[in-house]
Amino acid sequence: MTESESESKFLKSYNPKDFDSPLCTVDMAIIAVEAGELKVLLVQRSEHPHKGCWALPGGFADLKRDNSIEATAHRKLAEKTGIKTPYLEQVESIGNAMRDPRGWSITLLYFALIDFEALSIKEGAVTGSEQTQWMSIHDALKCELAFDHALLLRKAINRLRNKTRYTALPISLMPETFTLTELQTMFELILGTSLQKKSFRRRLEASGLLIGSGDMRSTARRPAALFKRSDSFKSDHVFPGLLDVEIESL
């Protein structure tokens, strides 16, 4: 018998259930900016455990529908928001015997950045049997979230803040067109600190990531030029030395 035949015979008789399998889920910190606040989408659990508690949206991997864990993440995001995000990133995998009372559990934590105005799910909507709520990051971190979701949210926000220090990632949160002042405000909102205007704009101009839309927006002072993402835009573009401040962990 050849090695190939031997392996084929082994696989035919192999039973995955001979070994313990942990619960496997995806949890998502879905982040958007609304009314000048950084917010996260929460769902109110309709079933035990932690029935009635707020939690990050997510769910179990579907072995028949999902051909990868990324597919699970994209599917759950579409179910909860109705849109495809321009940015979705895996933050960390966490597994232990304590995080879920149903048993040994592994979760793949993702964060997604989306344009709030493009959402089909707004405040107080119901998806399936779950009530949803957009909550400020500050308020969400004070809630008693289900499972270990407060820890997961902190990890996701810290990743977002740290990447904002040196990449173009926050541009993914902007609408189709925006002013440079609005973009700088977005960076400052995520970071919780102010940026030097001239230095910030100089790095943007050198990056080639933005182009003028040809339109203007009226402001309290004077009309401001509107910009949009260029064809060369990449959210992982690095701005060397964008910030020289330490971002405090949550």
pTM of whole model > 0.95?
A: no
In a domain, 9, yes or no: no
Where does the pLDDT of residue 243 fall: very low under 50, low under 70, confident under 90, or very high at 90 and above?
Answer: low
Residue 53 is predicted with a pLDDT of: 95
Q: pLDDT digit string (tens) for 175-201?
A: 889 999 999 999 998 888 888 888 888
With 70 as the cut, is the pLDDT of residue 85 above it? no
Output the domain CATH number for residue 188.
Answer: 1.10.10.10
Which residues neighbour 126 within 8 Å (Cβ) at sequence distance 6 or greater?
A: 132
Output the domain CATH number for residue 49.
Answer: 3.90.79.10
Domain count, the chain: 2
Residue 25 is predicted with a pLDDT of: 93
Say whether both 103 and 159 belong to one domain. Answer: yes
Query: Is the separation of the CB atoms in 106 and 22 below 8 Å?
Result: yes
The lowest-confidence range among 16-25, 62-71, 235-244 is: 235-244
The lowest-confidence range among 18-27, 122-131, 227-236 is: 122-131
Q: pLDDT digit string (tens) for 90-139?
A: 999 999 999 999 999 999 999 988 877 776 555 555 455 678 899 999 99
Residue 153 is predicted with a pLDDT of: 97
Say whether both 177 and 140 belong to one domain. Answer: no
Say whether both 139 and 184 belong to one domain. Answer: no
With 60 as the cut, is the pLDDT of residue 247 above it? no
Say whether both 104 and 119 belong to one domain. Answer: yes
Which residues neighbour 228 within 8 Å (Cβ) at sequence distance 6 or greater?
A: 176, 177, 178, 210, 211, 212, 213
In a domain, 250, yes or no: no
In terms of residue numbers, what domain contains 86? 20-163
Percentage, residues of the chain above pLDDT 70: 89
Which residues neighbour 114 within 8 Å (Cβ) at sequence distance 6 or greater?
A: 30, 31, 32, 81, 83, 85, 86, 173
Say whether both 121 and 224 belong to one domain. Answer: no
Say whether both 149 and 124 belong to one domain. Answer: yes
Average pLDDT of the chain to the nearest whole number: 86
* Separation CA 34–CA 117 (nearest Å): 8
Residue 121 is predicted with a pLDDT of: 55
Say whether both 80 and 178 belong to one domain. Answer: no
Most confident of 20-24, 90-94, 121-125, 214-218: 90-94
Say whether both 148 and 174 belong to one domain. Answer: no
Say whether both 214 and 109 belong to one domain. Answer: no
Boundary (domain end) residue, out of 125, 143, 163: 163
